[in-house]
Structure 1
Amino acid sequence: MRRLPRTALALLILGLAGCAAIRPGDSPARSRLLATAGATRNGAADLRSTELDDGGLVVDGTLAGHAYAIAFPVDWNGGDALLFAHGYTLPGASTKVPDNPLDQDLSGGLLKYAYLQGYAVATAAYDKAGLGVQSGVENSLRLKQYLDRLGAKRVYIAGGSMGGNIVVGLIEMHPDAFAGALAVCGADDSFAELIGRLIDIRAVYDYYTAGTPYALPGSHELNVSALAARPPTGLGWLQKPWAVIQLKRIFDPIKALFTAAAENPDGREAAIIRKVSAVTGWEPDPAAFVLPIATIALGMDDVVATAGGSTYDNRARVYRGAGLTDADIAALNRGIARIAADPQAVAYIAKWHTASGRFDTPLLTLHNRIDSLVPYAQPVDLGRRVAAAGNLQHLVQLTVPPMRRPLPFSTLDGYMHCGFRPQQLASAWDELRRWVERGEKPDSGSRP
């Protein structure tokens, strides 16, 4: 039997893999991509391809059983790529990635911007919803290695919110994998510290609202979720909106508290808000209360299950805040709920991930000065850790003003989490590219 040419053999393998066949008139770059994307040696399965209106190509599939999606610009023939790690989703949410990362851009427009510059853009699914730093690191690295096998010469990593923590984990654990890194609105320094802050605001809010109409529903034990984030079976049509229903149950008493405080700035409700803010450091803002409280009140079961126990210990903590009397402080510390940490969980969350500050990849962070879910303290603490490691040559930190927006189910508005205008994301990306590709390191500081 006559031996098939290498290209024809690749096309045959591609056809057996289930990807779209190459048609007459396809560009050489598209033909090459389709051929190599489905090659068995590249490890992909369940392949599908879709041609875009501009001639580009979207390839979807799985790597080791984990879904991914890549959008290739027309005539991409091995070049640069940007991989994006998305943020936290509530336990029970879908782990599916968008079929086309450009149509449902999880990055807030960054992927589409990079695609128009000629970059292939990609995203990988995580193994689970909820706390997913470990699978985010592992699956993103697997997708990066796949892009290498498809001919990528230089691959960047970006991530938002929990994805920022994934970005820092990737460049610290795999120092040679990425050309540059961009972490936006992320828990860049320590996911353990962020979880502790979430638990603190839940505990302090519970203490000050106990016995009032503003108390949270469900359990008030700190090592379990207040309400179940995952729907029980047999709900029928209620299965789909379950998460929204549970979120609204958490939001309603907080909304009522802030609404009453706005009507009477000298009343008990306004005093509760001031005390919670003073003790925890969270802004006296409805979004800066509801987002962290809802995240942990619906996600604590998942944190415990993922980490193998509690990652936080407040048994020895003395809670205090500006404006509280000695008697107030004593009563608070007698009455607040306490939680003990489990050593194996502390070790897990340190690995996945608390930054060491030691990395060789150029890292640019972007954060709002006020963020309703990931405090500005996160990039500040990362900067201190990097400075202590003597590694500031690899770090640039940018800050932009906060943004506000209306909150659902109410007439209130609040500070945004990841509140960026598209131009701010684009500018940060361009600054990172110039640093990596031209050696023009930007100055840290504020941006408009």
Structure 2
Amino acid sequence: MNEKVFRDPVHNYIHVNNQIIYDLINSREFQRLRRIKQVPTTSFTFHGAEHSRFSHCLGVYELARKVTEIFDKQYTDVWNPDESLLTMVAALLHDIGHGAYSHTFEHLFDTDHEAYTREIITNPETEINAILTKVAPDFPEKVASVINHTYPNKQVVELISSQIDCDRMDYLLRDSYYTAASYGNFDLTRILRVIRPIENGIAFSRNGMHAVEDYIVSRFQMYMQVYFHPASRAMELLLQKLLHRAKHLYPAQPHFFQQSSPHLIPFFEESNTLQDYLALDDGVMNTYFQTWMTSDDDILADLASRFINRKVFKSVLFDQVDEEKLAVLRDLVAQVGFDPEYYTGIHINFDLPYDIYRPEHSNPRTEIKIIQKDGSLAELSSLSPIVQALTGSVHGDRRFYFPKEMLRTDDLFADVKTSFGRYIKNDSFNPNPSTIEP
């Protein structure tokens, strides 16, 4: 086929010169990703973050294409060029199963985007599967096994999923670009120059170690400053409460939801199929939320209005040992008239920026290996003091969310504002309010 190109703000041009790749991009299941945001609630904080899973998946494919092109030309002694198409296809399709407001939705309705990814790839009823079987009858299963981390060639698996892979490299650069936060920038050009296939995975030349080090720090900063931003998490929690309320109301008000949000019915009834899942996207959900703003149920209508109009919950930090003591804040919220089940919540976010291989763990991580001058391999943190400082350490926080009105001094909130405020000190929960002057 003649080469096709997609103009991209991160990679400049994304090159497609394989008919299978081009057909996959044009399949209905892949085109659906245009309607799924990459970071759904982040745009409520960083307004430019409106980019889609579609653009991210194209970007991951482009990185895999560049890497396999290098491997095909320079490392045929340890890399099999027959693996290149599989690697590019797995990169392109790695997120094909993400759904509307993916993580929030799946926590409430017990869906699994990774399971849907495998089903879309292997189900004979999908366009994706029909295209993949043109390569070979077992090709869909091979692609699914790469994404599922069970494919025997760890070189291919680590390019798609490891502590430094095509997926992470693209989303850090892409999310950094669209949020206008510079934290996610790192020297991609240098990393692509020093990446190497080794016998049982991927490694990096010693002279490119600082570019890899920069990538680890960039990832850490993006999580702390962007992905864990309190306002974005507030909107995620609000969305969770909104869907929880709708699910609770459905048995008593099926007609309302059949009229206002028909594609959610199979999920309320726990009878959803793959086609039901694919029928939902962020735009469909937002339309449903706008309809719910007219509901006779005050809680559903109010939560929908808060989400659509960005009425962000306020939050305070708390320590794990004080979690049970938060009941006093819930009681004060209830005194005002808010149902604590829907107007308060806990959101916990922690991340492990980098870790060494620990086989005793249930999900051991693949190490980042650095090739020394004598050809031996060294684990990254053993060479980098910066990475060593982040290795094995978990970073994040616990937040308790509540309506911002609780801190107002006017009308009905004035009576509880002082009592409520006494439990907050420097934006953190204070379990001993007697230490603060009224």
Relative to the length of structure 2, the TM-score reads 0.27
Structure (1 or 2) with the greater helix fraction: 2
Relative to the length of structure 1, the TM-score reads 0.27
